[in-house]
Amino acid sequence: MSTLPTTGELLVTHEDLDRARDRERVRAARSGRGFSSRLRLLWLLIGPGVLVMLGENDGPSMLSYAATGVRFGISFFLPFIVLTFVMAVVVQEMTVRLGAATHRGHAELIFDRYGPFWGWFSMIDLGIGNFLTLITEFIAIRAGLGFFGVPPWAAILSALAVLYLALITHRYWTWERVTLAAAAFNLIFIPVALLAHPHWNSVGRSLLTWSPLPGSFTKDTLLIVLADIGATVTPWMLFFQQSATVDKGLTRSDIRFGRFDTILGAALASAAALAMVLATTPLFTHQMSAENFQAAEFAQALQPLIGRFGAALFALGIVEAGIVAAITISVSSAYAFGEVARKPHSLNLPLKEGKAF
């Protein structure tokens, strides 16, 4: 590893230097005056919160919201989905404070506080869960690209290439900005919802009065409730945001910006989730069953109602959701492994030094 000797036995690593450069830009922005300096400071400090929330709007989650719209339309589930993101903010804000105060990732804290057994257990449990989730992300990518006639093998190889390229940027800042740009496309479901022409009075009434569940509480209703909760609050989010907070170099003085970052991410993600419900509501209106629908089938079913352009945006949104989630989930696994195995674990590492990561 390329290092620079300092006092005593301390060594300055490559990732230390990159993180110090990022902190110098933060210091310069913080010392400035005026609105532009505050805006620049905000731009430099946001990232992990927006990424974790939009990353959680993954392929399976968006399909869960789509099934909610088809099954129940504009109803009880609009404010319920907003509530799940409020819950996510409460949980994820904790990781910002832990990361900024301790400068340790979630897995590393478990390892140090509860010992190697629980440290390895949490990492292995996360790895298994993330592996299974990644399979569903690639299924979503394949299904979304299937709408455009892309063969399954080409869809999977393309997704793997994007994932690999995202992880070899050698720079946390570059990785974060590129992934943020990709995550912004999660909002593509908003124009899809507008093309579906929802009844806005019903939307407002549902959000403000929280209408009761339509019909009786059946097994299908329980499945939708559990799916929508699972679409918003998942274990990998804890590991990812706390480790990303550390990798980004946030300190205690940055906690309020990290809190805003988390709230902003939740607001954007909940807007995209609600848009997905509204986008598929026309299928509810036309009493179409969405049982066993995949992304391409949702898009095909919507095409006569919102047009080819709207259906294409829907399919592209599913592809984006799968790719961004695959990137963030993979990184959360890599962070956890590096922290527990005491291996280098930073996106600032050159490929040669961060092979394990």
Q: What is the CATH number of the domain that holds 64?
A: 1.20.1740.10
CA 157 to chain centre: 22
Q: Domain for residue 324, yes or no?
A: yes
Count CA atoms closer than 13 A to 332's CA, side-chain side.
Answer: 33
* Residue 168 counted as domain residue: yes
Q: Is residue 3 part of a domain?
A: no
Residue 164: which domain range?
A: 46-341
Question: Is residue 149 assigned to a domain?
Answer: yes
CA distances from 233 to 69, 85, 141, 228 (A): 20, 8, 22, 9
What are the backbone angles phi and psi of residue 31, rounded to the nearest 5°?
-80, -15
Q: What is the pLDDT of residues 177-187, one digit of tens each?
A: 888 988 999 99
> Residue 88 has which token pair?
């996510």
Evaluate whether 50 touches 179 at the Cβ level (below 8 Å).
no
Q: Which of 129, 34, 53, 67 is nearest to 301 (CA)?
A: 67
Considering the entire predicted model, what is its pTM? 0.87
Rounded distance, CA 102 to CA 106, Å?
10
**Cα(268)–Cα(123) distance, integer angstroms:** 29
Give the chain's domain count. Answer: 1
Q: How far apart are CA 189 and CA 194, in angstroms?
A: 9
32 domain residue, yes or no: no
Place of tokens 């990159």: 18
pLDDT at 11: 67
307 in a structural domain: yes
Q: With H, G, I as helix, E, B as strand and everything else as coil, classify residue 244.
A: helix
pLDDT of 290: 58
Give the model confidence (pLDDT) of 93-117 as tens digits: 999 999 999 989 899 999 988 988 9
pLDDT of 223-280, one tens digit each?
Answer: 888 888 888 888 899 999 999 999 888 889 899 999 999 999 999 999 999 999 999 8
- Sign of the Cα pseudo-torsion (263, 229, 280, 325, in order): positive
